[in-house]
Amino acid sequence: MINLQNVSFSYNNEKVLSNISLHIDKGEFTAIIGSNGAGKSTLCRIMNGLLKPSSGTVTVNGMDTRTTKSSILARHIGFLFQNPDRQICKNTVGEEIRFSLDIAFTDKSMIEKRLFETLSLFDFDADSNPFHLSRGERQQVALASIIAAEPEILILDEPTTGLDYVECMKIMSIIKKLNDKGITVIMVCHDMEIVLDFAQRILVLAEGRLIADGETREIFKMEEILRQASLLPPQIARLAARFGFDDVFYVDEMTDIVLKRIKNRRKRTG
Amino acid sequence: MIHIENLSFRYKNGRKPALDNISLTIHEGEFLGIIGGSGAGKTTLSYAINGVIPHHFPGDFYGSVKVANTDTFDTTPGRLSLKIGSVLQDIDSQMVSSVVEDEILYGLENFSVPGDEIEERLLSALEAVGILPLRYRAIDSLSGGQKQKVAIAAIIALRPKVLILDEPTSELDPKSSEQIFDLLKELNEKYGITIVVIEQKIMLLSEYVKKLAVMDKGRIILSGNVRDVLGHSSELEEIGIHCPRVVSLSNSLRDRGADVGGVWINLDEAEAGIRRLIYD
Amino acid sequence: MKGFFDYVPGSSYLHRLNPLTKLLLALMICIAAFISANHLFLVMLIVLNLGIGAQAGIFTRSVMLLKGLLKLCIIIFLLQVLFIRDGNVLVKLPLNIFITDGGISSAFMVVFRLVTATMPLALMLSITQINDLSNVLVTKLRIPYPYAFALTTAIRFIPVFANEMTGIIEAQTSRGVQLDTRNIFKKIKLVLPLCVPLLITSVRKIEGSAISAELRGFHLRTKNSCYKKYAVNINDICVIMISVVIVGSAILVNSIF
Ligand SMILES: Nc1ncnc2c1ncn2[C@@H]1O[C@H](COP(=O)(O)OP(=O)(O)O)[C@@H](O)[C@H]1O
Ligand SMILES: Nc1ncnc2c1ncn2[C@@H]1O[C@H](COP(=O)(O)OP(=O)(O)O)[C@@H](O)[C@H]1O
Ligand SMILES: [Mg+2]
Ligand SMILES: [Mg+2]
């Protein structure tokens, strides 16, 4: 699907990404983590062809981003920016979604079908004015109009920043649903609990270098790597680490191991 | 320090009241966290404290807000700003200058801080949030997280008695968010500054603040010590507030028969609690 | 648009001048451009502008600016040439259009003036911090602070909006809007609706700025609040004299030729 080979990128002589190689397969759910300024957003823009690599090659479904127009790549990759207000430009939610559909499809009945499906997936009122909605709801409108066009790959740059827990979970559950249907998801996220709960694979960026790439649980065990990237594992994993419990990430897992220890102690003392 | 009594407010073009009969007292030297879903009225409450309401946004205003014994109704946000420093929610739009240094100087100049003191305050504010190297940078060229730090530096340079921050870490990575809270803690403990912080990251809050107020639909539905508030985790879950995972852990252990004592609200407490359970 | 007005940090001779001196120099070059009716003199002023750019370490930007103005210049030049009919006819075109030597001469004049009058202001803003400008306007020229604040805010928003527009275009391109088309009419049709998000963000930003300024003592400011002092030294006197000489020579050149 997406393939990066020795990709470097500089903004006016300032090197922001150095020598990144990676491959993302169909259906994966990948999180990109790293501190502010590590190059996460730049990497996302490189992947969808908004930025062209200074050296190295990026291919999406076999197309080289350097020689393919952005508007063509957009048919394959949906990209949700952090700020929904840069995307929404129509006066009703229905029109906003239709705007994307008109670009993606020519078949009238297909457009009507997707419009209906998308509105009901998000439970939207087609006539509501997006500018009267809250930030979290506008983020949902932006996401809706992107996935309406049925991209095979979804790139999300901090989709949950500035949202409350309920809004966050609504967006994440929709993304999860799409991923279950086989859509490839790549997501930048600062919330390690969300990364733990949803992503299968993690890319760790630090100062423009890809310092780790692996399965979620494996990455969260690499304290040294995370420290280099100024990150901390999820809360329960941090707690477990203080007791030397390995491979414990969730409340249930921690509960089990603590109860087992209590029982062992009783056996010994009693 | 801050005394709110039966405060209700409806924006002029708003259908429902944004604040509904709020009473809250914040004592000098307190470190209070305010949580709640979006649209709960958190930002509006902060506006009521710093005087933006009713002076900037018109609407129906009932009840009273007193800051250091001054009724906010009888003064202006400008004069209140001598006592209360505010970091607003939307970082991008709260900048008034194009260069970092000028952004910090802006308030200092307006407050007519004497010239020999200004330079020192400028430097110590930049230093405190760790952005000294950004002094001459154009604000436009900074990342969201860096801007957030500039906004905070611009306010702490004014050395207010009360600091109110509206989601100050929303764009920051976990490490920088902790740095900001470390700084707030230091300001609170060392200089006795009263701090009110609105925050979505409840896990971070419970590592730092002493008190919590929970808002929902314009009301304060719970307030008190962090432990007492997080003890109501099922009620919080109902209004869409997700407690830190150590709270769920202590609940889950309690439900399965372990004697956890009270709820654990942060990592250190959870560690101590588990040590007691499995070693003592 | 992007990147022509925002401040370029530096410590060149020109950077270090008093903001008022820089403003005066820019205005005087503009005035000289409007007074002068001599092609050669105007060309020299353009060279002077480039020289100023080079001295301040923003030569590349000055050249870019010149290139940016070129498109506008070509359109104005063509209009002038086609519609001014003074002097001798050089070429006769169908539809009763003549090209005359007077037309060409005045077309060059207008274009040169446009360039000489635009460049100094853009260059001045590139090497002067807006806050400094506002401060001298208030302390030296006694302009009321709210007006100075409005002016600086307006100037400050130019790069902010340009950035915002870049972001909007990125977002729309990513959803498949063909903003990468080469057809200019199609492009304009596609870009126009994007003004909606720009407008909404602008209103929000302006409102935010107003609240933020108010919460940091906007109304408490007095004329003496300003911390930085803007001394006038020997360099400023030199540049002021040069500015006067420029206008003087424009008048002199006019009266001689
Ligand atoms: N448009 C730009 N021009 C110049 N530098 C930029 C630009 N955008 C980002 N950068 C720089 O590139 C680096 C990486 O930025 P970014 O990819 O946005 O990081 P992240 O998304 O991980 O926070 C930062 O140092 C930032 O200052
Ligand atoms: N300027 C305004 N005009 C009208 N209604 C507003 C305005 N600002 C906020 N509101 C409404 O007031 C309520 C509380 O908003 P706010 O205080 O911003 O909540 P929070 O900060 O908790 O997300 C919301 O229902 C919102 O729609
Ligand atoms: Mg980013
Ligand atoms: Mg808010």
- Spatial separation of the C-alpha atoms in residues C139 and A81, rounded to whole Å: 44
Tally of CA atoms within 13 A in the half-sphere of C184 that contains its CB: 0
Show Cβ contacts of residue C192 under 8 Å, excluding neighbours closer than 6 positions.
Answer: none
Q: Determine which of C165, C168, C175 to mutate to test the interface with A (most A C-beta atoms within 10 Å).
A: C175
CA distance B80 to C187: 50
Q: At what angle do helices A251-269 and A235-242 cross, to 10 degrees?
A: 20
Give tens-digit pLDDT for C162-211: 888 888 988 998 888 887 777 778 878 888 888 888 888 888 888 888 99
Does position A261 have pLDDT exceeding 80, yes or no? Answer: yes
The number of helices, as runs of H, and strands, as runs of E, in chain A is 11, 10
Question: CA C137, CA B9: separation in Å to the nearest integer?
Answer: 40
Q: Which residues fall within 8 angstroms of residue C1, CB to CB, at 6 or more apart?
A: C158, C162
- Residue in A78, A228, A61, A97 with CA at minimum distance from that of residue A157: A78
A235/B170 touch (CB, cutoff 8 Å), yes or no:
no
Contact B89, C215 (CB under 8 A): no
Residues 209-238 (A) with a CB less than 8 A from some CB of B: 230-232, 234-236, 238
Q: Which residues contact C109 (CB under 8 A, 6 or more apart)?
A: C37, C39, C42
Residues of C in contact with A69 (CB under 8 A): 178, 180
CB atoms within 10 A of CB A54: 15
Calpha distance B67→B50 (Å, rounded): 9
- pLDDT at residue A127 in the model: 92
Taking a C-beta distance cutoff of 8 angstroms, is the pair B240, A165 a contact?
A: yes
Q: Which of B11, B50, B215 to mutate to test the pocket of ligand 2 (most atoms within 8 A of CB)?
A: B11
Question: Quick check: C215 and B138 CB within 8 A?
Answer: no
Tens digit of each residue's pLDDT, chain B (280 residues):
899 999 999 999 888 999 999 999 999 999 999 999 988 999 999 999 999 998 999 899 999 999 988 999 999 999 999 899 999 998 888 888 888 999 999 999 999 888 889 999 999 999 988 899 999 888 888 877 789 889 999 999 999 999 999 999 988 888 889 988 998 999 999 989 999 999 999 999 999 999 999 999 999 999 999 999 999 988 998 888 999 999 999 999 999 988 888 899 999 999 999 999 988 7
pLDDT of residue C2 exceeding 90, the answer is no
Does this model's pTM top 0.90? My answer is: no
> What's the half-sphere exposure (Cβ side, CA atoms, 13 Å) at B89?
19
Query: Among partner residues C163, C207, C214, which is closest to B78 by beta-carbon distance?
Result: C214
The answer to whether A57 and C146 have CB atoms below 8 angstroms apart is: no
What are C77's strand-pairing partners? none
**C59-77, pLDDT tens digit by residue?**
888 888 888 888 888 888 8
- Rounded to the nearest 5°, which phi and psi values hold at A123? 65, 50
DSSP state of B16: S
Contact C211/B56 with Cβ under 8 angstroms? Answer: yes
Residue B270's closest chain A neighbor by CA? A239
Q: How confident is the model at residue C1 (pLDDT cuts 50, 70, 90)?
A: very low
Hey, are the CB atoms on A70 and C164 less than 8 Å from each other? Answer: no
Q: What ipTM score was computed for the predicted complex, to two decimals?
A: 0.87
Q: Is it the case that residue C22 has pLDDT exceeding 70?
A: yes
Q: Output the residue whose Cα is nearest ligand 1's atom 24.
A: A37
Closest residue in chain C to residue A49, using alpha carbons only: C174
- For residue C194, what is the DSSP state? G
Measured in residues, chain C has a length of 257
- Give residue B100 CA to ligand 3 midpoint distance, Å: 20
Q: Which residues of C, range 200-229, sit inside 8 Å of A by Cβ? A: 200-201
What is the rounded distance in angstroms from the CA atom of residue C5 to the CA atom of residue C104? Answer: 32
| Euclidean distance between CA atoms A106 and A99, whole angstroms | 12
Q: Read off the tokens for A222.
A: 């690499």
8 A C-beta contact, residue A40 and residue A205: yes
pLDDT of A270: 63
